A = this chain, B = another copy of it.
């Protein structure tokens, strides 16, 4: 009922990743069996390997920015055929019947979405294994079509970093005439700038570091605001319609709230941890909002990929071979990557 394939994973908390063997289920009627060609490296992969969120199950086989080619489809699959270029993101299943699932918000499934790795596998009764592997088998509902005109290896990070930043910009209806700030220039932030720019908004990179100015402009920022520069921060006070905050760790959000205009929103997509004191006055004066957003539903993920096809948007990537993954993790932790590592899965043989 299952096939053994090669994968790369961690046997224990914080262990170096090594080659291992995992099982993939045989193709079910609604399944798509995919040969994985590229897989992005997301900071969440590292958090899970290190059990930073306390819910890791070992062995962990990370990877939820998956690009591949369809090897086989079940006999009830409608939308995919052998040879198709496809993607899989952070989810491989959900209940499909609850209110959020019916509203195309599978990421908020009331029974809990099934993560691409470390999720509860309904088929084999174990936990799910991600994209650092040769193949994956996924219900077609959770398989995405990839626009053929894009540089495929640089599409992989769109499946997580892309949808995580596209979804809030889309939900809050970012468009021409608006001023958008993107806080933090990493895997998420660099996609935020590209999307906000493509949606037509005046896009300002907000960063602590002068050194990121040039790169931000190359990525599409109309301006750069150095958050340590009090005068500059004052000048921009009350002027932003929306701020996408991609900072992945706890930090003081009050200076950013002061940048918002009346009815403005700052949306958090990085910091899944306690934020230090938020001043009530920063919300009350100007009817401002702090919100959060988590990836995006499958329908919206396809919409994001189509948007990328139309606007020729991909991630900025650095390619690695599978056996360099541990070095790459170290560099991600040191913020030494512009802006996403992608594994060439041909290197796992």
Residue numbers of A with Cβ under 8 A of B are: 100, 105, 108, 110, 171, 238, 250, 262, 265, 268-294
Identify the closest chain B residue to A254 (Cβ).
B274
**Bound-complex Cα distance A292 to B271 (A):** 21
Return the contact of A108 from the options B105, B262, B270 (Cβ within 8 A): B262
Q: Can you give 21 A-B contacts (C-beta < 8 A)?
A: A108-B262, A108-B285, A265-B289, A268-B283, A268-B284, A269-B284, A270-B280, A272-B281, A273-B279, A274-B277, A274-B278, A274-B279, A276-B277, A277-B277, A282-B292, A284-B294, A285-B292, A286-B292, A287-B292, A287-B294, A289-B291
What chain B residues lie within 8 Å of A171 (beta carbons)?
A: 287
A290 to chain B minimum Cβ distance, whole angstroms, is 5
CA distance A275 to B287 in the complex (A): 16
A251 to chain B, nearest CB (A): 10
Residues of B within 8 A of A278 (CB): 274-275, 278, 290
Question: Is the CB–CB distance between B292 and A268 below 8 Å?
Answer: no
Residues of B within 8 A of A262 (CB): 100, 105, 108
State whether B272 touches A292 (Cβ < 8 A): no
Least CB distance from A274 to B in Å reads 4
On whether the beta carbons of A288 and B292 are closer than 8 Å, the reply is yes
**Bound form: Cα–Cα A72–B281 in Å:** 38
Report the Cα distance A286→B105, complex, angstroms.
9
Give the distance to chain B from A35, nearest Cβ to Cβ, in Å.
33
- A240 to chain B: closest CB distance in Å? 14
A97 to chain B minimum Cβ distance, whole angstroms, is 16
Q: Which residues of B contact A250 (CB under 8 A)?
A: 280
Contact A280-B272, Cβ < 8 Å, known A108-B262, A262-B105, A262-B108: yes
Q: Which of B238, B277, B284, B294 is A285 in contact with, Cβ under 8 Å? A: B294
Residues of B within 8 A of A287 (CB): 108, 171, 291-294
Given known contacts A283-B292, A285-B294, A286-B294, what 11 new A-B pairs fall within 8 Å (CB)?
A: A100-B262, A108-B286, A108-B287, A272-B280, A272-B281, A275-B278, A275-B280, A278-B278, A283-B290, A284-B293, A287-B293
With contacts A262-B108, A285-B292, A292-B288 taken as known, whether A271 is within 8 angstroms of B275 at the C-beta atoms is: no
Residues in chain B near residue A284, CB distance under 8 A: 268-269, 272, 292-294
Bound-complex Cα distance A244 to B292 (A): 19
Cα separation A275 to B281 with both chains bound (whole Å): 10
Shortest beta-carbon distance from A198 to chain B in Å: 22
In the bound complex, CA of A284 to CA of B269 (Å): 7
Chain B residues near A281: list those with CB within 8 A.
272-273, 292
Cβ–Cβ contact A275 & B273, under 8 A: no
Q: What are the residues of chain B within 8 A of A269 when measuring CB–CB?
A: 284
Q: Quick one: which of A272, A286, A287 has the most chain B CB within 10 A?
A: A287
Min CB gap A160→B, angstroms: 14
